[in-house]
Amino acid sequence: MPQERGFHVAVVGATGAVGQQMIQTLENRDFPISKLSLLSSARSAGKKAVYKGQEITVEEATPESFEGVDIALFSAGGSVSKALAPEAVKRGAIVVDNTSAFRMDENVPLVVPEVNASDLHNHNGIIANPNCSTIQMVVALEPLSQKFGLKKVIVSTYQAVSGAGAAAVAELNDQTRAILDGKEAEPKILPVGSGEKHYQIAFNAIPQIDKFEENGFTFEEMKMINETKKIMHLPELQVAATCVRLPVGTGHSESVYFEIDAEGISAEEVKSLVGDAPGVVLQDNPSEQLYPMPAYCVGKNDVFVGRIRKDLDNENGFHMWVVSDNLLKGAAWNSVQIAETLIDLGLVK
Amino acid sequence: MPQERGFHVAVVGATGAVGQQMIQTLENRDFPISKLSLLSSARSAGKKAVYKGQEITVEEATPESFEGVDIALFSAGGSVSKALAPEAVKRGAIVVDNTSAFRMDENVPLVVPEVNASDLHNHNGIIANPNCSTIQMVVALEPLSQKFGLKKVIVSTYQAVSGAGAAAVAELNDQTRAILDGKEAEPKILPVGSGEKHYQIAFNAIPQIDKFEENGFTFEEMKMINETKKIMHLPELQVAATCVRLPVGTGHSESVYFEIDAEGISAEEVKSLVGDAPGVVLQDNPSEQLYPMPAYCVGKNDVFVGRIRKDLDNENGFHMWVVSDNLLKGAAWNSVQIAETLIDLGLVK
């Protein structure tokens, strides 16, 4: 990345689970920053965060906060993005938004750099970062789509609680300890904070992430379905998803069945292709019990793929297991990676 | 059930996770027992178990243990079944075997009473109890197969550690507490006790249950594939499985995609049919966040089904979520239910 100049970067939602990872990722990547503004809701303003050893006070995000900002990374919820992202753009910033607010907007590129970086050229100030569970799946599917064509995807997810925020992680830990101690622990957050009912997540699996749509799918499932088609430029792709929350802190896993548009392809060919793809680490050797797992992917930017095998009935069908850190490639790293790509492409004014 | 006489029942593997549930289930069902023999390996012999308030000493299982036994429920591992089930049959007992030792034997019926009770008529002394993850799925699929015909099944499982025995449950609990306390806990059992590598199960998901086969599927996955075809009498059915172990004590969940051999069928019709099926409790109302979950199915004999919805691309395709207590319908209850059905059908000498 050319580092001729530094940029004024703002992180909106700096105190949240993803915001914290964004700050850390900017530091790890030695992102070219001339000034870093950490912003949040009024409730969290005044808290402090550390960037490269320096304490920075988090300020309340207002329209004026974005004066002079070059790049604003948003991850403070859809309503904050809807209210403030246009204000940031108005003031000359380019926004990378990690909420669902603009993802399906025709005028907003929805980008996973390994898949559709060229869509960035068509931005109008806002670039949407896809849903965590979508990102890791399309990184693994893209090389197959490019080489063979992709016809059908059926995914069942195994998602970590950090996708629901830091409070959900605390709920999992506190509830788990209470249950081990034989105590009661009233669920208050999961599966959906604003929902009417809350269920135990410790030692459980909850087949609901986000609210239900009229068609019986959840919003999370529809995000995976619609975002996958948009990112991969495959409006006709058949995609179905079942999204499930697990008692895992960080690291989403996915059991993915897919059908390619080619016959006679072996599992070894698929392994080789996926393993060579950008952003992918292949962990696939059954004889050595090598496959990806969420507990071992935390803190890494890669998408880990394993358990690749050919379907026993369908000549075009394959199965695979895809794991990634949902706070990094699923959120913070993909957002920072979009920002880096924007700079590389000369798209930041 | 006619209770004109009592039967001499033996439980082999009486001290194990499933054996304990078998004894409790025999008590709960008020099974017609004249004498109860509790048998185990030499290692566990001498331990005591309680049946209807009475302490019974567990004895080492030998060929002679089966003299006079009418019904023997085996759940002490495949090698014990292979060695002793024929000895029990030789002495006049009818064996219900909860291991994989005889399941795919052409001369051995593999039975889920709600699905293929009539196969019991063809027994030669041994009846096999299917794998836990298979049982709950075929109970939910059978009414659809009967009414519409079934073409294809793709299942991803979310399996509890008690399927790997009581020691695996202890490993999950101890390891979880250690991690919450910031301590180390060396994995020793999961995913496969006899395997070379062991992985953390607390706050993790392990995409391996049982050993790997040459085709890249695990033995657990192949059990689901082959047993489903045998039980449902559908040798041509397309079935694929991905089996995953979760940090859940008891209760297996399954994300099931299936295609029926009929078009124009609504999700409501499928719900109604599955909900009326024997052994099934429908828990399916998205607007009230009603769906099955493992933490809430423990101790119940039923198969719980929810999240039934029509695929958005395939007119014949549907998705559902199936949950059951893997120690009960998945093992102990299905075994006792087979024994009850044998008595009802007059098949116990």
Provide the mean pLDDT of chain B. 97
pLDDT at residue A1 is higher than 50: no
- Work out the average pLDDT over B124-135: 98
B349 confidence band (pLDDT: 50, 70, 90)? confident
End-to-end CA distance of chain A: 16
User: What pLDDT does residue A4 have?
Assistant: 64
Of A139, A140, A132, A114, nearest in space to A318 by CA: A140
Instruction: Quick: pLDDT tens for A292-328.
Output: 999 999 999 999 999 999 999 999 999 999 999 999 9
Percentage helix, strand, coil for chain B under 3-state DSSP, each rounded to 5: 35, 25, 40
Smallest CA–CA distance, residue A15 to chain B, in Å, is 23
- pLDDT for A207-228, tens place per residue? 999 999 999 999 999 999 999 9
Inter-chain residue contact A289 with B313, CB threshold 8 Å? no
Q: Is residue A96's pLDDT more than 60?
A: yes
B288 interface with A at CB cutoff 8 Å: yes
Instruction: Please determine, for residue B2, whether its predicted confidence score (pLDDT) is greater than 50.
Output: no
Average pLDDT of chain A? 97
pLDDT computed for residue B4 by the predictor: 64
Give the model's pLDDT for residue B166: 94
pLDDT bucket at B5, cuts 50 / 70 / 90:
confident
User: How buried is residue B319: exposed, middle or buried, by Cβ count under 10 Å (0-12/13-18/19+)?
Assistant: buried
Residue ranges per domain, chain A? 7-129+331-344, 134-326
Is the fold of A7-129+331-344 the same as that of A134-326?
no
The domain B7-130+331-344: what is its CATH number?
3.40.50.720
Predicted pLDDT of residue A349: 79
Catalytic residue positions of B, numbered: 132, 252
Residue B114's H or E segment, with its range, is: helix B113-116
Amino acid at B213: E
More confident residue, A184 or B134: B134
3-state secondary structure of A27: helix
Domain B134-326 coded CATH 3.30.360.10:
yes
Please say if the pLDDT value at position A131 is more than 50: yes
Of all helices (H) and strands (E), which one includes residue A26? Answer: helix A17-28
Whether residue A293 and residue B246 make contact (CB cut-off 8 A), yes or no, is no
Q: How many residues make up chain A in this entry? A: 349
Q: Is the pLDDT score of B143 beyond 70?
A: yes
In the numeric block, the tokens 């399996």 are attached to: B159
Pair B101, B223: CB distance under 8 Å:
no
B159 is in an annotated binding site: yes
Long-range Cβ contact pairs of B44-51 (< 8 A, separation 24 or more): B44/B14, B44/B15, B47/B15, B49/B14, B49/B15, B49/B20, B49/B23, B50/B23, B51/B23, B51/B26, B51/B27
Residue B1 has pLDDT above 50, yes or no: no
DSSP per residue over A228-283, as a string? Answer: HHHHTT-TT-EEEEE--B-S-SS-EEEEEEEEES-SS--HHHHHHHHHTSTTEEE-
| Structure-token pair, residue A134 | 């979508």
Closest approach of B121 to chain A, Cα-based (Å): 32
Reported as a single tens digit per residue, the pLDDT across B75-100 is 999 999 999 999 999 999 999 999 99
Whether B242 and A267 lie within 8 Å, measured CB to CB: no
For residue B39, report the phi and psi dihedrals to the nearest 5 degrees.
-125, 155
Chain B nearest-CA residue for A258: B154
pLDDT in tens, B100-117: 999 999 999 999 999 999
CB distance B197–A288 less than 8 Å?
yes
Stretch A177-201: mean pLDDT? 96
CA distances from A207 to A190, B104, B255, B271, B306 (A): 11, 33, 9, 17, 9
Given a cut of 70, is residue B3 above it in pLDDT? no
CB contact at 8 A, A280 and A302: yes
**Mean pLDDT along residues B40-47:** 95
Buried b or exposed e, range B136-148, using 16+ CB within 10 angstroms:
bbbbbbbbbbebb
Give contacts of B 238-277 with A, CB under 8 A.
238-240, 242, 244, 246-249, 251, 253, 255, 257, 267
B41 is in an annotated binding site: no
Longest distance between any two alpha carbons in chain A, whole Å? 61
Here the contacts of A218-226 (C-beta below 8 Å, separation 24 or greater) are: A218/A243, A219/A100, A220/A131, A220/A133, A223/A100, A223/A103, A223/A130, A223/A131, A223/A133, A223/A134, A224/A131, A224/A133, A224/A134, A224/A137, A224/A155, A224/A157, A225/B312, A226/A104
**Angle, alpha carbons B206-B321-B144 (nearest 5°):** 130
Set of chain A residues whose Cβ sits within 8 Å of the Cβ of B307:
207, 216, 242
Q: Would the CB atoms of B312 and A240 count as touching at under 8 Å?
A: yes
How confident is residue A2, by pLDDT bands cut at 50, 70 and 90?
Answer: very low
Q: For residue A217, list chain B residues with Cβ-Cβ distance below 8 A.
A: 309, 312
User: Catalytic amino acids of A?
Assistant: 132, 252
| B68 in contact with chain A, both atoms CB, cutoff 8 A | no
What ipTM was reported for this prediction? 0.97
Q: Could you count the other beta carbons within 10 Å of the beta carbon of residue B343?
A: 21
* Cis bond upstream, residue A191 (ω within 30): yes
Q: Give the pLDDT band (50/70/90) at residue A5.
A: confident
pLDDT per position as a tens digit, A241-277: 999 999 999 999 999 999 999 999 999 999 999 999 9
Q: Please tell me the distance from the alpha carbon of residue A27 to that of residue A164, in angstroms, as a whole number.
A: 24
B177: nearest CB among A180, A207, A238: A180
What confidence tens digit (pLDDT) does each residue in A28-40 have? Answer: 999 999 999 999 9
Report which of A151, A340, A136 is spatially closest to residue A255, judged by C-alpha positions: A136
The secondary structure element, H or E, covering residue B230 is helix B219-231
Q: Is A322 on the interface with B (CB under 8 A)?
A: no
Strands (E), chain A: 7-12, 33-40, 48-51, 54-57, 59-60, 71-74, 94-97, 126-128, 150-158, 238-242, 252-260, 280-282, 303-310, 317-324
CATH 3.40.50.720 fits domain A7-129+331-344:
yes
